[in-house]
């Protein structure tokens, strides 16, 4: 049986599983719904944010981090995160500590991993926890750890063990959804923005690596890869990135730097090979901190739906983001200066159920991308 023949069976199996999980969570949630919890009275002295993965989502949670810190400046504020995404938060000045989630929430894990994380959370003696996951197992962690106030996302009943549930309905940007957890306990949201802080030595290395010609445009042609997930349909074709990059260099007199993590060398090489003009290829050579420092010095970042584009926004660099099949209304750049290009319908199924034809990234044309680059750079 080929992939096309097996797809309806897989989709049917996932739909049945979703219905079963939803019904199970609603039944499990009945005892919890009989209990009420006042919103943080008195103010908590130790607060945890729980979001194990992944890089883009962690960056989209940084407005919430700053919001909670402003609301509770004297509280200890910790963040439970997995090793894959930990570098995004290591220099965040609003946080006191990072708690290691291990493998929980970042791919496959066992019950021993899960129970070890429960014990680490219990040792923190937290009084409140903000849960930014839709998984019932992740939402259950703070309950098992004895945290009395548990605020978080409730998607189809999956947040049954939370004391304050924030419904996940309709189309809403992920960063705003996270901020809704603060609003649910009466915290005012203001000056919401993504944040990332490169170290001085990372900024120095970026300065030494980069071409001085401007506009300096970063291109991140990879994406669609996280622990437990690989979606190459989220990648715009390399030859199109190459064509746009050459137009930037030839028409604007600027320079292009190719970015990507370990494992992205192939797709970056495919862009490089198709370019007439030589870019600076830093793919696989930088840490997340160094990548943020490089992006900080760029005038624009162009790429697919990746954590790197959110990283660019977090260091103050606007982006032109090419989307498909994921929906920029939910996962797009959280920045008014940036542009997201997408040819999707009004609504889509959950990301893990999307088909390439639902909102093909290849429907976005080279001319649309180049004109968006000019717009963001103020060169129209």
Residue 180's pLDDT is: 97
Instruction: Give φ, ψ of 207 to 5 degrees.
Output: -60, -40
Residue 9's pLDDT is: 41
Residue 156's pLDDT is: 85
Largest CA distance in the chain: 66
Question: Judging by beta carbons within 10 Å of its beta carbon (0-12, 13-18, 19+), is residue 191 exposed, middle or buried?
Answer: exposed
Element (H, E) at 353: none
Instruction: Give φ, ψ of 286 to 5 degrees.
Output: -120, 150
Residue 348's pLDDT is: 46
Residue 3's pLDDT is: 45
Q: For 56, how many CA atoms within 13 A lie in the half-sphere containing its CB?
A: 21
Looking at residue 83, what DSSP letter applies?
A: T
Task: Tell me whether strands 229-230 and 225-226 are parallel, antiparallel or unpaired.
Answer: antiparallel
**CB–CB of 98/90 below 8 Å?**
yes
Where are the strands (E) in 184-281, listed by range? Answer: 216-220, 225-226, 229-230, 255-258, 280-281
Nearest to 168 by CA among 197, 202, 139: 139
Strand order in the sheet with 339-341: 280-281, 255-258, 216-220, 300-304, 319-322, 339-341
Global confidence as pTM: 0.88
Residue 268 to residues 110, 238, 281, 357, Cα–Cα distance (Å): 35, 8, 8, 25
**How many CB atoms neighbour CB 22 within 10 A?**
15
CA angle 133, 136, 138 (to 5 degrees): 55
Instruction: Give φ, ψ of 119 to 5 degrees.
Output: -65, -40
Could you identify the residue written with the tokens 């030494």?
A: 208
Instruction: Give φ, ψ of 196 to 5 degrees.
Output: -150, 145
Which residues are CB-contacts of 254 (< 8 A; sequence separation ≥ 6)? Answer: 213, 214, 215, 216, 217, 248, 299
User: What length does the chain have?
Assistant: 380
Residue 119's pLDDT is: 98
Tell me the two tokens of residue 323. 């989307």
Q: Give average pLDDT by consecutive 10-residue segment, the chain, 380 residues.
A: 44 46 56 62 93 96 98 97 96 98 90 96 97 94 96 91 92 96 95 97 96 90 75 89 96 95 94 96 97 98 95 98 90 95 65 53 93 93
Nearest to 324 by CA among 239, 224, 241: 224
Peptide bond preceding 325 in cis form (omega within 30 of 0)? yes
In three-state secondary structure terms, 89 is coil
**CB–CB of 109/127 below 8 Å?**
no
CA angle 268, 59, 47 (to 5 degrees): 150
Residue 97 β-bridge partners: 78
Could you identify the residue written with the tokens 């901020």?
A: 179
Residue 324's pLDDT is: 85
Domains in the chain, CATH or no CATH each: 39-183 (3.40.50.2000), 200-377 (3.40.50.2000)
Give the pLDDT confidence of 356-365 residue by residue, as tens digits: 455 688 889 9
Residue 26's pLDDT is: 58
Residue 349's pLDDT is: 46
């Amino acid at each position: 049986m080929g992939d096309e023949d097996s797809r309806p069976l897989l989709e049917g199996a996932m739909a049945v599983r979703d219905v079963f999980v939803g019904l199970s969570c609603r039944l499990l949630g009945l005892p919890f719904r009989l209990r009420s919890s006042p919103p943080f009275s008195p103010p908590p002295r130790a607060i945890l944010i729980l979001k194990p993965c992944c890089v883009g989502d962690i960056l989209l949670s940084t407005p919430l981090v700053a919001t909670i810190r402003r609301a509770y400046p004297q509280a200890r504020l910790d963040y439970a995160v997995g090793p894959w995404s930990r570098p995004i938060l290591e220099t965040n000045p609003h946080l006191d500590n990072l708690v290691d989630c291990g493998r929980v929430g970042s791919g496959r894990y066992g019950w021993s991993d899960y129970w070890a994380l429960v014990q680490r959370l219990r040792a923190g003696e937290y009084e409140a926890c903000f849960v930014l996951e839709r998984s019932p197992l992740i939402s259950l962690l703070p309950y098992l750890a004895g945290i009395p106030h548990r605020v978080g996302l409730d998607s189809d009943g999956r947040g049954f063990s939370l004391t304050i549930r924030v419904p996940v309905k309709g189309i809403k940007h992920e960063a705003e959804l996270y901020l809704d957890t603060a609003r649910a306990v009466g915290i005012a949201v203001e000056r919401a923005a993504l944040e990332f802080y490169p170290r001085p030595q990372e900024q120095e290395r970026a300065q030494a690596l980069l071409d001085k010609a401007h506009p300096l445009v970063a291109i991140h042609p990879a994406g669609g890869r996280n622990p437990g997930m690989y979606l190459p349909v989220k990648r715009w074709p390399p030859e199109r990135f190459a064509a746009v990059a050459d137009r930037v260099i030839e028409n604007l007199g600027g320079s292009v730097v190719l970015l990507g993590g370990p494992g992205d060398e192939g797709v970056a090489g495919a862009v490089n090979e198709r370019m007439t003009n030589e870019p600076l290829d830093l793919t696989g050579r930088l840490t997340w901190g160094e990548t943020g420092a490089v992006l900080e010095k760029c005038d624009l970042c162009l790429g697919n739906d990746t954590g790197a584009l959110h990283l660019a926004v977090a260091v103050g660099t606007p982006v032109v983001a090419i989307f498909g099949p994921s929906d920029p209304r939910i996962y797009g750049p959280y920045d008014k200066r940036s542009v997201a290009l997408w040819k999707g319908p009004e609504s889509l199924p959950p990301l893990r159920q999307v088909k390439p034809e639902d909102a093909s990234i290849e429907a976005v044309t080279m001319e649309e991308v180049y004109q968006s680059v000019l717009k963001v750079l103020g060169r129209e």
